[in-house]
Amino acid sequence: MARRRGAGTHPAVWLPAVVVALLMIVPVLHLALAAAELGPVTALTEVASDRTLRLIGRTLLLAAAVTAASMVLAVPIAWLTIRTDLPARRAFAVATALPLAVPTYVGSYALIAAIAPGGLVADLTGLPGVRPYGFWGAFAALTVFASPYVLVTVQAALAGLDPALEDASRTLGRGRWRTFLTVTLPALRPATAAGALLVALYVISDFGAVSMLRYSTLTRAIHTEYRASFDRSRIALLGLVLVAMTVVLLVAEARAARGGAGTYAVGVRRRAEPVPLGRWRWPAVALCGAVVVVGVVVPMVVVASWSWAALEAGEPIAAAFDAARRSLVAAALGTVATVLAALPIAVWSGRSRSRAARLVERASFTGFALPGIVVAIALVFVGIRLVPALYQTLAMLVVAYVVLFLPQAVGAVRSTLLQVDDDVESAARLLGASRLATLWRVTLPLAAQGTFAGGALVFLTVLKELPATLLLAPTGYDTLATRVWSATSEAFFARAALPALLVILLGVVPLMLVSARRGALAPAVQPRSDVEKDSTVPSTLTATG
């Protein structure tokens, strides 16, 4: 059965998927080649050394803690911002995802400037500051700035989730709370797992937060090696440890997602009736508001206060706007290319149970799990040798973005597809549509919401990207992120402020597009009652307002 389904995939899907997957494993191959110089004995001794084991332990601890906290925080917020009568619901849906637009090096810097002894809070209130360093600081910062991965994927899933099952549960006498726990949450499992995976991988590859907040992970150790030793085989070895860790996380995610997949929805969705929050209204607002304050307002206030000082000091703003334009071009091209590369992989793995499809989908995660500098150096090595004409051009940079950020798009598209049973496509085939026509007219439209959500994630991360942009962009192609970096590294903070503010503000755009599309989508797919497959629900309960 599984085999037949796999064989039924059109080459227009699996062929590009395989090509993209080959591109994705380039960094791992480069690492493996470099690490091979060490020889097996040295390599094993090095991996099993106390220091490496300690780094692995610390990295896993941070990833596990941040991922768990992100789920606890983001799943309820996703539900509140999609399914309830939360005041300013649409604005919160965008604003609670916005911390993702804050680069961790800026966000962590703002956190220190705000709460450390002698910081803003201490100045304003006279309270003693808190030293936000070590595990707890890194944990808090990464939870705030990475949890939107769970939020955005779960929001997309909720928007596409057929409320019929929940309505049925309510009709059969279960309360709102039990319905949420026993029907909604399990239905959200694939999306939650996909978001959680992105959080975990983001944490293990992040450098900004762990370096500013002083918590040693494998990625921080890799950066230290780059700075100090130029010993590429040692770096490669630590990189391969990260790859191994990624494989473990990928298997864990696949297990976690399996339980919930394909158990609901028939392809025709109604808009869910907003759940009245009643007296929980204001606590809910407080929760969402707290996330927005800590994750968006505080970084923006800190950065805006620099901007103000910079403008007063006569810092020219034209350069920042030029950089914003280049950032926007790079992010737009990177997003389109990444989404296009992601679609075949997502469709194949979302619709086929073949092993090959699974493998290709999992392979797409490697670039995201590695520190940006490792991927960038690998692409430098390969790019200058294989395609010298493209080396340090915009095309090369876009390829780097695809390698780095592909899984964000794959995950979002795939989890939307998994929400819809493939009976829909079977029906299309039965009614005489060709495989390609079914793909074009049924599968891809079903994936649209996920495509937008995934594209928004890619856009945000491209805006923040640093190492690949520095090494692979055309010479002189300075973006907002590179301007922030170059100004802060030489302690010209006034010069860093405006670009940092623009990075965050530009992130609003894709999130608003996603939100607007979600709003437009829901009423458009209102079913006629005769299409409903299983109308056990009285029409009074399903009517939309």
Partner 1 sequence: MSRSLRHRPSAVLLLLALPVLLVACGEAVDGPTAPTTSAPDASAGGGADADGPLVVYSGRSEDLVGPILEGFAAMTGRELEVRYGDTAELAAAILAEGDASPADVFFGQDAGALGALEAAGRFAELDAETLGLVDPAYRSSAGRWVGVTGRARVLVHAPDLAAADLPDSVGELTDPVWRGRVGWAPTNASFQAFVTALRLLEGEDAARAWVEGMLANDVQVYEKNTAIVEAVGRGEIDLGLTNHYYLLRYLAEDPDYPAVNRFLPGDVGGLVNVAGVGVLSTSERPTGAAELVAHLLSEEVQRSFAGAAAGEYPMRAGVEASDRLPTLVELAPPALDLGRLEDLEGTLALLREVGALD
Do 169 and 90 meet the contact criterion of CB atoms below 8 Å apart? no
Identity of the residue, 131 or 255, whose beta carbon is nearer to partner 1 in the bound complex:
131
Pick from 5, 10, 90, 429 the residue near partner 1 by CB under 8 A: 90
- Residues 501-530 close enough to bind partner 1 by CB under 8 A: 502, 505-506, 508-509, 512, 515-516
Pick from 44, 64, 247, 329 the residue near partner 1 by CB under 8 A: 329
145: three-class secondary structure by DSSP = helix
Q: Which two tokens stand for residue 185?
A: 């949450």
Task: Mention every residue, 6+ apart, whose C-beta is less than 8 A from residue 542.
Answer: 163, 164, 167, 270, 273
Identity of the residue, 54 or 533, whose beta carbon is nearer to partner 1 in the bound complex:
54
181 near partner 1, rule: CB under 8 A: no
Identity of the residue, 129 or 527, whose beta carbon is nearer to partner 1 in the bound complex:
129
224 near partner 1, rule: CB under 8 A: yes
Q: Binding string to partner 1 for residues 25 to 64, with x set by CB under 8 A, is what?
A: --------------------------x--xx---------
476 near partner 1, rule: CB under 8 A: yes
Identity of the residue, 307 or 352, whose beta carbon is nearer to partner 1 in the bound complex:
307
Q: Which element (helix H / strand E) includes 30?
A: helix 26-36
Dist. CA 441–CA 20, nearest whole Å: 24
Q: Give the count of residues interacting with partner 1 (CB under 8 A).
A: 82
Question: Following DSSP, what letter does each residue of 237-286 receive, concatenated?
Answer: HHHHHHHHHHHHHHHHHHHHHHTTTT-S--S---PPPPBP-GGGHHHHHH
Pick from 223, 269, 270, 351 the residue near partner 1 by CB under 8 A: 223
Q: Which two tokens stand for residue 220?
A: 């921080």
313 near partner 1, rule: CB under 8 A: yes
91 near partner 1, rule: CB under 8 A: yes
325 near partner 1, rule: CB under 8 A: yes
Q: Which residue has the tokens 């150096």?
A: 377
Identity of the residue, 23 or 376, whose beta carbon is nearer to partner 1 in the bound complex:
376
289 near partner 1, rule: CB under 8 A: no
How many Cβ atoms are within 10 Å of 128's Cβ, its own excluded? 9
Task: Mention every residue, 6+ apart, whose C-beta is less than 8 A from residue 115.
Answer: 121, 122, 129, 130, 132
Pick from 137, 495, 498, 514 the residue near partner 1 by CB under 8 A: 495
| Binding piece for partner 1, criterion CB under 8 A, among 271-279, 348-356, 373-381, 424-432 | 373-381
- Give the sign of the dihedral formed by CA 388, CA 389, CA 392, CA 396: negative
380 near partner 1, rule: CB under 8 A: yes
| Binding piece for partner 1, criterion CB under 8 A, among 152-160, 224-232, 348-356, 448-456 | 224-232
Single-letter residue type at 302: V
Identity of the residue, 18 or 496, whose beta carbon is nearer to partner 1 in the bound complex:
496
CB-side exposure of 396: number of CA atoms within 13 Å? 28
